[in-house]
Amino acid sequence: MPSPTTSSPRDAHADDEARSVKLAALLSRSSGRPLDEIEELLEQDHYYSATEARELGLGVKWGKDATPPTPQLVGTKVYEDYPLEELLPYIDWNPFFQVWQLRGKYPNRGYPKIFNDETVGEEAKKLHADGEALIADIIKNKTLKARAVVGIWPANAVGDDIEVYAADGSGAVRGVLHTLRQQEEREDDHYLALSDFVATKESGVKDYVGGFAVSCGFGCEEVCSKLRAEGDDYQGIMMEAVADRLAEAFAELLHHKMRKELWGYAPDEALSADDMLKVKYQGIRPAPGYPTQPDHTEKAFLWELLDAEKATGITMTDSFAMLPAASVSAVIFANPCSTYFQVGKVCKDQITDYASRKGMSMEEAERWMGPYLAYDPAA
């Protein structure tokens, strides 16, 4: 394994767990080194170069150890007005309580255990009851609409990029999904990028990638504006919180449908809603702009593939925020090797390469990736 390069951090803080992991790694390779030198190294971040990190990628032997599943659907499918009542079993209530800043005495005590919390239990029960009552009213009066579009397309990895091909089987390149790779030294032997989860073009193995855009926010802003005008802030916040939970539930349900029917690689999956929320299924659905691919601009190509605005009415702002706000988008990976991870901080060599691959200036790439840069662009 190559040795990582060293870079001075902009923020030397590390939590105890991360510091312990780094200390163990340093001690294992620093036999005989004076303690003061080890302490100095501990206060620095260690990174592999982009080239070295690629060499430490997942390295799946496509066609030998792994054969990608062939989907039942190739192309897109639109859901115009999905029944809201079908979303109810898929609701994750934990973020709902976070909206109201209810974490209780034990932060790891989630729903429904929060009801037993001596500090916030009674308040949590009331909020939950109000939320359920509002959902029942929304379903009865059709206050909100659920719309979505899902798609699956042929695809292959080319380096840290994923080429996406036309659904008609012509092999024409529709465009490229760009991914970022971990560089910061970690305990694991592999330094991941999302492209690791798709069969490489050079392997000759046919693979696929999916995506979706969903919303349960149509009608929400009109209701919230009316409530705010009436001075009912509580019901306004409740409506927004409930719409968010329904949108996330819709995303969970559609991913379930993709696994069992549309992609169909897990037709016998029989997981409980709780197991699904704990990601005990095969495949992942990372969202552009979040830790597995922290660049929000990747939504642009996803929107093009899905024809999302025409199919659903979900639009994007200049900052790639989705409207209505209660909307969720994701890129879908089906192979068993796919797993969630955090890219973390990335170095200038990778950003330079990434900007070039995207046809973007360094300044623009650095602006979008600002919180994830392992260097100061102004230095």
The H-or-E segment that residue 146 falls in is: strand 145-158
pLDDT exceeds 90 at position 37: no
Number of H helices, E strands in the chain: 12, 10
CB atoms < 10 A from the CB of 58, how many? 15
339 vs 347: CA distance, rounded Å? 23
pLDDT exceeds 90 at position 174: yes
10 vs 378: CA distance, rounded Å? 12
Domain ranges of the chain: 1-47
**Once rounded to an integer, what is the mean pLDDT over residues 197-209?**
97
CB atoms < 10 A from the CB of 160, how many? 21
pLDDT value at residue 154: 98
Whole-number mean pLDDT of the chain? 90
pLDDT value at residue 10: 33
The pLDDT confidence band at residue 221, using thresholds 50, 70 and 90, is very high
Whether residue 326 contacts residue 145, with contact meaning beta carbons closer than 8 Å, is answered with: no
The pLDDT confidence band at residue 112, using thresholds 50, 70 and 90, is confident
Of the listed ranges 29-43, 89-103, 184-198, 279-293, the least confidently predicted one is 29-43
pLDDT value at residue 14: 37
The pLDDT confidence band at residue 26, using thresholds 50, 70 and 90, is low
The pLDDT confidence band at residue 62, using thresholds 50, 70 and 90, is very high
Whether residue 162 contacts residue 155, with contact meaning beta carbons closer than 8 Å, is answered with: yes
**Once rounded to an integer, what is the mean pLDDT over residues 302-319?**
98
The pLDDT confidence band at residue 7, using thresholds 50, 70 and 90, is very low
**Once rounded to an integer, what is the mean pLDDT over residues 96-115?**
79
pLDDT exceeds 80 at position 364: yes
pLDDT value at residue 105: 61
138 vs 150: CA distance, rounded Å? 24
211 vs 293: CA distance, rounded Å? 14
pTM for the full predicted model: 0.87
pLDDT value at residue 66: 86
pLDDT digits (tens, 9 = 90+) for 130-159: 999 999 999 999 999 999 999 999 999 999
Whether residue 283 contacts residue 259, with contact meaning beta carbons closer than 8 Å, is answered with: yes
pLDDT value at residue 15: 45
Percent of the chain with pLDDT over 70: 87
Q: Tell which residue, 252, 317, 312, has the closest CA to residue 287.
A: 252
Q: Could you report how far apart the first and last alpha carbons of the chain are, in Å?
A: 30
**Once rounded to an integer, what is the mean pLDDT over residues 37-55?**
76
pLDDT value at residue 65: 80
pLDDT value at residue 12: 32
pLDDT exceeds 80 at position 32: no
pLDDT exceeds 70 at position 67: yes
Q: Tell which residue, 139, 130, 129, has the closest CA to residue 88.
A: 139
Of the listed ranges 4-13, 116-125, 141-150, 171-180, the least confidently predicted one is 4-13
DSSP characters over 248-269: HHHHHHHHHHIIIIIS-S-TT-
Whether residue 141 contacts residue 158, with contact meaning beta carbons closer than 8 Å, is answered with: no
Phi, psi of 75 (to 5 degrees): 120, -155
Whether residue 157 contacts residue 132, with contact meaning beta carbons closer than 8 Å, is answered with: no
pLDDT digits (tens, 9 = 90+) for 248-264: 999 999 999 999 999 99
DSSP characters over 302-330: HHHHHTHHHHH--EE-TT--EESSSEEEE
324 prior amide bond cis, ω within 30: yes
Residue 339 class from Cβ within 10 Å (0-12 exposed, 13-18 middle, 19+ buried)?
middle
**Once rounded to an integer, what is the mean pLDDT over residues 20-49?**
62
